[in-house]
Amino acid sequence: MKMVIGIVVAIAIVAAVFFIGLPMMKSNQKVSDFGPAKITSAPTFSPTQIPTPVETTVIFTEVTTAPSLSPIPQQTQSAMKTYTSSKFGFSIDYPSNWEVNEKNMLETPSLTRYDVIEFYSPSINRCDTDQSICSLVKSTIMIEVETKPGTKELADYFVPEVARITSQNGAQITKRDSSFKLSGAKAYRLDYTANYNKNVINLLSAYTLINDNAYIITYRAYTPVRLEENQFELYYNTAMDMYKSFNVKGAVTVLQ
């Protein structure tokens, strides 16, 4: 009897476990499965941060530039014109606002050297030290032609010219240049100063021999005496342009 009762009790316990405990275990499993899920926090996107200014020390390096070589000052150049001499077989460009004085005359006492033409720049007012006496002065480009230079060697013609110049008007040579060119031909350049009527003048003469003739082009201008512009420097570039444009085209046709 006791055995039967023990079996019945055991069966009852098993049944209780089967019908009661098993559903509870499943229920607990379901609760665990559907309970609060583990939340993985999404990456937060913080607003764009303005970087905190970092205090820095700026070092300024002093840059010393080499002084630029300023061009020789001169007035704005006007349009160029071309002068042509049919008698002496050359042409030259000159600024349209310069005056032209065509002379075509012998230089006394010579019988073969001609003062052909002169070009005059716009004038400036030149005053003495106390400004009591003022006068208008101009720069000049003068072209001369020697129809019988007596030599075909430029040096042989040039040396007597230098001697003649230095013997007159207290002339002082400031520069000689044997690499100059006129009309594509070898030329000699001579820079000097001279005194005319108690005034100092700067001059630049260039000499060449072409077609058995000597061509001499001289640029001259008064030196400043007070505060006016240096006229020689003022028109120096213009004078150089005129020298470069000089072109011998034909033979001299002047009757000897």
Residue pLDDT, tens place only, 38-89: 444 444 444 444 444 444 443 333 333 333 334 455 555 679 999 999 999 9
**Burial (CB count within 10 angstroms: exposed 0-12, middle 13-18, buried 19+), residue 178:** exposed
Answer yes or no: is pLDDT of 27 > 60: no
Residue 133 and residue 199 in contact, taking contact as beta carbons nearer than 8 Å: no
* Whether residue 232 has pLDDT greater than 80: yes
Q: Which two tokens stand for residue 249?
A: 């085209």
- What amino acid occupies position 70? S
Q: What is the pLDDT of residues 187-225, one digit of tens each?
A: 999 999 999 878 889 999 999 999 999 999 999 998 887
Contact 16, 23 (CB under 8 A): no
Q: What is the pTM of this model?
A: 0.68
Euclidean distance between CA atoms 50 and 47, whole angstroms = 9
What gap in Å lies between CA 227 and CA 146, rounded to an integer? 39
Distance CA 207, CA 190 (A): 8
SS3 36: coil
d(CA 245, CA 205) in angstroms, rounded, equals 15
Rounded distance between C-alpha atoms, residue 90 and residue 14, angstroms = 141
- Give the rounded distance of the alpha carbon of 230 from its chain centre: 22
- Residue 183's pLDDT band (boundaries 50, 70, 90)? very high
pLDDT given at position 169: 87
- The DSSP bridge partners found for residue 209 are 214
Domains delineated in the chain: 80-248 (3.40.1000.10)
- By CB atoms closer than 10 A (0-12, 13-18, 19+), residue 214 is buried
